[in-house]
Amino acid sequence: MTNIDNIKVTKNHTLKQALELLDQSAKSILLMVDAAGVLMRTITDGDIRRQLLSGKSLDDSLEDLEKSNPVVVGLDATSDEILALMDQRNINQIPVVDGDNKPVELHLRQNLQPRIQLSIPHMGEYERQFVEEAFATNWIAPLGPNVDGFEKELADYVGSKHAAALSSGTAAIHLALRLLDVGSGDIVLCSSFTFVASANPILYQGATPVFIDSDQETWNMSPVALEKALKDCCESGTKPKAIIVVHLYGQSADMDSIMALSKKYDVPVVEDAAESLGALYKGKHTGTFGKFGVFSFNGNKIITTSGGGMLISDDGELIDKARFLSTQARDPAPYYEHTEIGYNYRMSNILAGIGRGQLKVLDSRVEARREVFDRYRSGLSRFECLDWSPQPETDYSNCWLSVVSLNPEKTEVSPESLIQALAKSNIEARHVWKPMHMQPLFKGCRYYTEEETSFCDYLFDTAVCLPSASNMTQVQNDMVISEIEKILD
């Protein structure tokens, strides 16, 4: 914001004085106030030119300029709001007024930085074609060629045999549990370090979650802690019905170890790959190791349909059953007959069209996010207090979000203070997901750690997600880096 003392005038100023002030301040605008200091109008070069053309002389006062209602904003307006208003009114300056309508500051377009956001949609050039095709053929209602196409194309992309397009990733996890016959009183093991949508479906089915800590190598489910839980549960006669493994922030979990345990204890795996579409573990796509894999196309994910999800499996019968359950479980009868509980979980043909377009640009989105992460890591490499999320050599992360942990033994800067300092520069950073075993919702649930102390508690206390959108420019990437440098120095 800019100081305004040198651009305030009253009606007693002359046209000449006004021109001189415009010239000196170089702001292209003056603020005319009344005796009480209340804003009456703004004045530009053009206003003065029109006064002169109407016969006024340079020594005449500004008193004939009429009061108008200038565009103003309050003190709490955000950059994004102000920029939107400037675009809408086609202006480059907006005064800030206090509660009494007295000007206190001036916003200039060139000083306003659009907010650098954590993760936002990034459309390609094909989405519209698919959606328009749906309109042209009136395939608006649920199902249609885009749904079939999206399912097949996604399954081919990740190397799975079958896929069902659904209304959300959460719906996909829910159906996976339903299909594994998870019910009241059953136990489901689940990564603790995740978003709540991984675990909510366990509760939908009336089952009991048992949470598993992360390991230091992947920040995802610790096989050591998982085995402790499997052993305990099996020994006490309550073999878990499923293991929900999350590939958080685009990094895969240690799938060799986890699949070996799944086999040893005969408990099926559901992979929550909502954040890891496009990521590989030893050359194979995340989501294709377990009995089921789940993807999300929510607005913040690496590709989006504005909202949606996909359930994949190599078992075609189970995916057929998922399609059946997701369309209200209607029995094959000439009328509406139902024997099982169903859901309205199917993806619409319009949204699947967006998905087909997004799938075409997925590889470039993964590359862009990986570049963002690399730029942060190399740009900030001199700071020893920063521990970047691990990327084992055998894996290929999609770097959905760039995550860094601030070692409290090497810096005083906490996630909270970093997030707030970046917010002042209009940069959005966020805490990492708060682990499930720490959530009030899951109070009292059992939790297994690898060591004495909980590693994901440490991550929650120390780690931050940085802006990571694939449409973030290098200039913006560098701005975030230089702001972090300032804060850490």
Binding residues for ligand PLP (CB under 6 A):
168-170, 194-195, 197-198, 246, 272, 274-275, 296, 298, 309
φ/ψ bin of 370: left (φ > 0), alpha (ψ from -120 to 50), beta (otherwise): alpha
Task: Give the residue with the Cβ less far from ligand PLP, 15 or 294.
Answer: 294
Task: Give the residue with the Cβ less far from ligand PLP, 221 or 274.
Answer: 274
Q: Are 448 and 136 in contact (CB under 8 A)?
A: no
SS3 content of the chain, % helix, strand, coil (to 5): 40, 20, 45
CB of 280 vs ligand PLP, minimal distance in Å? 18
Task: Give the residue with the Cβ less far from ligand PLP, 127 or 275.
Answer: 275
**CA distances (Å), 380 to each of 377, 405, 484, 489, in order?**
5, 13, 8, 11
Tokens 């990094």 — which residue?
Answer: 251
CB of 155 vs ligand PLP, minimal distance in Å? 18
Task: Give the residue with the Cβ less far from ligand PLP, 42 or 296.
Answer: 296
Task: Give the residue with the Cβ less far from ligand PLP, 151 or 275.
Answer: 275
Element (H or E) spanning 3, and its range? none
Q: How far is CA 425 from the centre of its chain?
A: 19
**What gap in Å lies between CA 436 and CA 196, rounded to an integer?**
7
CB of 194 vs ligand PLP, minimal distance in Å? 5
Task: Give the residue with the Cβ less far from ligand PLP, 198 or 326.
Answer: 198
- CA atoms lying within 13 Å on the CB side of residue 167: 11
CB of 429 vs ligand PLP, minimal distance in Å? 17
Q: Are 112 and 83 in contact (CB under 8 A)?
A: yes
CB of 110 vs ligand PLP, minimal distance in Å? 37
Task: Give the residue with the Cβ less far from ligand PLP, 42 or 470.
Answer: 470
CB of 277 vs ligand PLP, minimal distance in Å? 11
**What gap in Å lies between CA 340 and CA 342, rounded to an integer?**
6
Task: Give the residue with the Cβ less far from ligand PLP, 288 or 296.
Answer: 296
Give residue number: closest CB to ligand PLP.
169
CB of 199 vs ligand PLP, minimal distance in Å? 9
Task: Give the residue with the Cβ less far from ligand PLP, 130 or 195.
Answer: 195
One-letter amino acid for residue 406 of the chain: L
Task: Give the residue with the Cβ less far from ligand PLP, 306 or 482.
Answer: 306
**Adjacency order of strands within the sheet including 402-406:** 386-388, 402-406, 463-466, 430-431
| Neighbouring C-beta atoms of residue 36, cutoff 10 Å | 8
CB of 400 vs ligand PLP, minimal distance in Å? 8
Q: Are 289 and 265 in contact (CB under 8 A)?
A: no
Choose among 120, 152, 147, 153: nearest CA to 131.
Answer: 147
Task: Give the residue with the Cβ less far from ligand PLP, 192 or 462.
Answer: 192
**What gap in Å lies between CA 455 and CA 216, rounded to an integer?**
7
Tokens representing 93? 């300056």
**What gap in Å lies between CA 238 and CA 150, rounded to an integer?**
39
**What gap in Å lies between CA 302 and CA 278, rounded to an integer?**
9
Task: Give the residue with the Cβ less far from ligand PLP, 119 or 146.
Answer: 119
Gyration radius of the chain's alpha carbons: 29
The SS3 assignment for 417 reads helix
Q: Are 241 and 207 in contact (CB under 8 A)?
A: yes
Choose among 374, 219, 367, 353: nearest CA to 297.
Answer: 353
CB of 5 vs ligand PLP, minimal distance in Å? 50
Q: How far separated are the first and last CA of the chain, in Å rounded?
A: 25
**What gap in Å lies between CA 147 and CA 348, rounded to an integer?**
7
CB of 198 vs ligand PLP, minimal distance in Å? 5
CB of 121 vs ligand PLP, minimal distance in Å? 13
CB of 170 vs ligand PLP, minimal distance in Å? 3
Task: Give the residue with the Cβ less far from ligand PLP, 163 or 246.
Answer: 246
CB of 127 vs ligand PLP, minimal distance in Å? 18
Query: DSSP string of 438-472?
Result: GSGGGTT--EE-SSSS-HHHHHHHHEEEEP--TT-
